[in-house]
Amino acid sequence: MDIYEEIKKLTEISAMSGREDRMISYIISRLKESADDLHVDKMGNVTATYLGRGENPPSIAYFAHMDEVGLIVKKIEDTGFLRLERVGGIPEKVLPSEFLDVHTLDGTTSVRGVVGNTSHHLTSAEKKFSVPAINEIYVDIGCRSKEEVLSLGVDIGSSVTYVPNFMKMGNCIVSKSLDDRMGIYTLLALAEHLETAEHEATVYLIFTVQEEFNVRSSTPTFKRLEPDAAICVDISPACDTPELEGKYDMALGKGVAIMYMNFHGRGTLGGLLPNPKLNQFLEEIAKDELMNCQKEVVIGVITDDAFTQLAGTEGIPMAHLSIPLRYTHSPAEAACVKDIEDCAELMCLSACKFGRHVDLSRGC
C-alpha cells in the first residue's frame, strides 16, 4: 500500500462531520474481503473485526475518526452569496480568499466557491489586521440570485469543505484533513497486516464519525463491543514552528507520540488520562524495536477516547497514539511521512503482541 497514493485518496474524499457516507462506503469496499465481520452502526461508525485464536480470546480496539471539519450553509442571500456556520473547529483566520467545495444537499456533487475578501484597495485601516467573524464571512459560487443557487442543488444545510490539495513537501505531506486521514491510513495498514499476521487477540478496527463535532458519537460502538483495551489514533499539534517553539515537546520527524494527558482546557469536556500499564506496554514495544517515540502532554486537544473510556459496565483501558501535525484544522496541514509509518508499525506490533499476559489491572 503506497502511503502517498493512499493518503491522497483519503483526503480527496469529502466527509464533513455528519456527512461521512462517502468515507463509510470507501472503508467498507476496502475491508469487506479481509475482515471476519464488518458492522456499521446507526451512527455510521464502521467496525472491522479480525478474530483472535482460541475460544475466548482477549480483545483490543484501534480507532480513528473519518470525519473532517467543515461548514454548513445557513442562509442564501438574494444576490446569490452563501452565509455559513462552522461544523467543528474551522479557524476563521484561514478562510478569507480560501477555495471551498460547496456540496449539493443530496451529496451527489459539488460546486467550487471562494470566500469573499474585501478588495485591498478599499479595506479600511482598522480592518487590515483583523479576522472576520463567521457571521461576516460569505462564499461566492458565481451565482447572481438565490434561484440560481437553488438550481444547482445547493440549499440551506449544504455541507462545505476545503478543496482537495494533497502535495509532497520534502519528507512531509501537506493537505486538508490529514486530521484524521492519517489515522485512517494506519488502520488500513493494520488491516493489511492482520490478513497474514498471527494475533492472539481479537482486533477491532473502528472508524468513527462526528469526532470533530461532538467527540461522543463512537460511544455506542464501544458500549456494544466492550474491548479489553483500546488505542485511539489521532493527531497532536506540532510545536516546532517559530511561533509555537517550546510550547510542548512535539515535533515532526521524531516519531509517533504516546500520550500521557490531553485536556480540552475549559469546562467539563475533559480529556484522557490513559491506562498507565497500557502506555507501558506500548513504550516497551517501542524500546525493544528501537523505534523513535515522543511523549505527549497537551492542553487544548480532546479526542474520541475522552468519552469512550467510560463505555460499558466497567470502563475501557485506553491509550492514545498521536501523529504530530503542523497547522491543524487549516487547509494546509503538514506531517512527516516517517511519523505516520512509525505509528502504523507500532500499531501492528502491539496488535500481535497483545494477549492475556498483558496486565491492565489497577491498584497493583
Give the pairing of strands 99-103 and 159-162.
Answer: antiparallel
Scan for cell 491543524, then name that residue. Answer: 328
Q: Is 226 designated active site?
A: no
Strand partners, 113: 100
> Which of 20, 68, 200, 211 is flagged as catalytic?
211
- Range list of β-strands (E), 176-219: 202-208
Whole-Å CA distances, 177 to 39, 77, 194, 319: 24, 29, 26, 23
Region class of 296: left (phi > 0), else alpha (psi between -120 and 50), else beta: beta
Distance CA 47, CA 24 (A): 10
Neighbouring C-alpha atoms within 13 Å toward the C-beta of 76: 20
Distance CA 257, CA 359 (A): 22
CB 182 within 8 A of CB 349: no
Give the largest Cα separation in the chain, rounded.
73
SS3 341: helix
Scan for cell 503482541, then name that residue. Answer: 353
* Strands lying side by side in the sheet with 172-175: 167-169, 172-175, 333-336
Annotated active-site positions, please?
Answer: 211
